[in-house]
């Protein structure tokens, strides 16, 4: 499983200490700090942002809902 978080500078030290505790307790295997995305990742992020905006702009709210039951 992979988890990506954006942590601001003020809270980053506390968060890194917490990750170290999780690693020592074997709650997580490992972690790495990524300072920037590569070009492909940036393109995917931009596409997802545009897709989100398109969904917001094209939709309209209704009183309908969908219920999915296990089959």
Report the alpha-carbon distance of residue 37 to residue 1 in Å, rounded. 19
**Residue 30 exposed, middle or buried by CB count within 10 Å (0-12, 13-18, 19+):** exposed
Which residues are within 8 A (CB) of 8 and not within 5 positions of it... i.e. 6 or more apart? none
Q: What is the pLDDT of residue 71?
A: 57
The pLDDT tens digits for 5-49 are: 666 766 778 888 888 898 899 988 888 877 778 888 889 888 888
Whether residue 62 is predicted with pLDDT greater than 80 in this model: the reply is no
């Amino acid at each position: 499983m992979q988890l990506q978080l954006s942590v601001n500078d003020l809270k980053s030290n506390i968060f890194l200490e917490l990750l170290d505790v999780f690693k020592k307790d074997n709650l997580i295997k490992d972690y790495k700090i990524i300072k920037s995305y590569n070009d492909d990742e940036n393109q995917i992020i931009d596409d997802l942002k545009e897709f989100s905006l398109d969904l917001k702009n094209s939709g309209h709210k209704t009183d309908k809902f969908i219920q999915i039951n296990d089959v």
